[in-house]
Copies of this chain bind each other. A is one copy, B any other.
Amino acid sequence: MQKVPTDMDQLSQVLKLMGDKTRLTISALLMKRELCVCELLEVFDVSQPSISQHLRKLKDAGLVKETRKGQWIYYSLNKESESYPLIENVLSFTPDVADKIAQIDKSNPTQRCGC
């Protein structure tokens, strides 16, 4: 886990983004696998626009990428980001989110085929 010194402004900006419980949890989930908005929606008690707005902030900071796959837009952590080492490090302190991933898999909002 490499440590790239960043300037104080950029570092505090990233930490502020991670300082929101919803965004922190979204990031922890994206560390497991890419997810679309409707999947994230299964594990948070907020509206769809709220999720979209959080993802937009993470994207604007270069922390996540998006790829459209037909109807869905999948979000993932941007490993090319200068801040990725920090993100990875911070996320190592988060509690396990396997239960939330399981919840998404169970509700399966995108009708993902299991085979």
Contacts and interface: CB of A to CB of B under 8 A. Distances in A.
Contacts of A95: 5-8
Interface in A12-44: 12-13, 15-21, 24-25, 28
Interface of A is mostly: helix
A28 B5 CA distance: 13
A86 interface: yes
A115 B42 CA distance: 63
A9 B24 CA distance: 10
Interface size for chain A: under 10, 10 to 19, 20 to 34, or 35 or more residues? 20 to 34
A19 B16 contact: yes
6 contacts: A4-B93, A8-B21, A9-B21, A11-B24, A11-B94, A89-B93
Interface of A: 3-9, 11-13, 15-21, 24-25, 28, 85-86, 89-90, 92-96
